[in-house]
Amino acid sequence: MDFRFTDDQLTLAETVRDYLAGTHGPEVLRRLDSEGNRDPAIWQGLVDMGLTALLVPEEHGGLGLGLVEAALIATECGRACLAEPLVDTAFVAVPWLVRRGETAELGAIAAGTRKVALPHVLNPWVADGADEFPGQLLQSVDPLRNLVMFPASGSADPHLLDLGALMSAAQLVGLAEAMLHQATEYAKVRTQFGQPVGAFQGLKHQLASCAVAVEFAKPALWRAAGALECLSSNASVHVSHAKVMATDAAIQTAETAIQVHGAMGYTYEVDLHFWMKRAWALAGAWGDRACHLKRIDQAVIGGTLPIGPEHTFA
């Protein structure tokens, strides 16, 4: 029993974090917002880092890593508010295709020449799916999301839902941490009444409450990643658990962050809005709160999951 990441996993996450911090700052989000929101150079950078190959088995030219690594990196994608469809292609579609034995396109995905968007009946849209599923384009509140209306042929596979929900939860954790950081930094430099507004307890305590919410969403996320990676029988409950806690932490942090920013937070001029809107979008993606709560409810109140102190890792 060792509920920790390996040094390799932590190093990998840190490398991706540093890379995105260096190449994908808020100025990039602003540029994408004004100039058409995908950029082949950004995608190529991710491919060059090996991220599209992360979950592709070695025999198909990939790195053969697992969902725990992918969840760590998806958290970093959330933190950077990455718009490119890396998570959907490489961390949702790839493991789903691998599990179904559909290996034909894995090489191309690993090489970065093929992006895959998968429709699921719980999503009324497909993100970055317009090439594959031509149809009515939908506009998201998130200016960096490209949505097309859900096509008639969508999967209802619960495993696909689990993958999408897990990776959404991971991004939501990263988004929450980023928003908490932005709000905290703003509170240190904005002065009113002759002091930084961050010295006022009214703000301090709200930010501290966000820190608590984020801190305890993380172990739920890691538990879910570990469970889905080894396809444990209760993995779906853990994924739903992670999605609900990550969603709640992100929404709470978004609302707090805008409050801390005052009127600046209500403008398009402060970058916070990119993160906030992504959080709103992912909160409903791959099963909304109600859908995931229901799955937990059925397990916990319905009695299909053993509960109690001796079942910590059930």
Report in angstroms how near the CB of residue 287 gets to another protein at its nearest: 15
Residue 115 token pair:
């992006």
Site string for another protein, 55-84 (x = CB under 8 A): -------------x----------------
Does residue number 223 form part of the binding site for another protein (CB under 8 A)? yes
Site string for another protein, 279-308 (x = CB under 8 A): --------------x--xx--xx-x---xx
User: What does the H/E/C string look like for 30-50?
Assistant: HHHHHHCCCCHHHHHHHHHCC
Segment interacting with another protein (CB under 8 A) among 5-13, 107-115, 157-165, 269-277? 5-13
* Distance between CA atoms of residues 82 and 170, nearest Å: 13
Does residue number 46 form part of the binding site for another protein (CB under 8 A)? no
* Distance between CA atoms of residues 55 and 67, nearest Å: 8
Does residue number 44 form part of the binding site for another protein (CB under 8 A)? no
Report in angstroms how near the CB of residue 313 gets to another protein at its nearest: 5
Indicate the residue among 101 and 309 with the shorter CB distance to another protein. Answer: 309
Secondary structure class of 82 (helix, strand, coil): coil
**CB burial class (10 A; 0-12, 13-18, 19+) of residue 39?**
middle
| Total residues in contact with another protein, by rule CB under 8 A | 52
* Distance between CA atoms of residues 263 and 246, nearest Å: 26
* Distance between CA atoms of residues 31 and 8, nearest Å: 34
Indicate the residue among 134 and 219 with the shorter CB distance to another protein. Answer: 219
Q: What is the dihedral of CA 142, 21, 224, 313, to 10 degrees?
A: -150
Tell me which residues in 157-216 interact with another protein (CB under 8 A): 180, 184, 187-188, 194-196, 198-199, 201, 203-205, 207-209, 211-212, 215-216
**Neighbouring C-alpha atoms within 13 Å toward the C-beta of 216:** 8
Cβ atoms within 10 A of the Cβ of 182, count? 21
Contact residue for another protein among 2, 27, 35, 131 (CB under 8 A)? 2
Site string for another protein, 229-248 (x = CB under 8 A): ------------x--xx---
**Neighbouring C-alpha atoms within 13 Å toward the C-beta of 157:** 15
Tell me which residues in 92-151 interact with another protein (CB under 8 A): none
Residue 144 token pair:
């960096």
Which residues sit at the interface with another protein, rule CB under 8 A?
1-6, 9, 68, 180, 184, 187-188, 194-196, 198-199, 201, 203-205, 207-209, 211-212, 215-220, 222-223, 226-227, 241, 244-245, 293, 296-297, 300-301, 303, 307-313
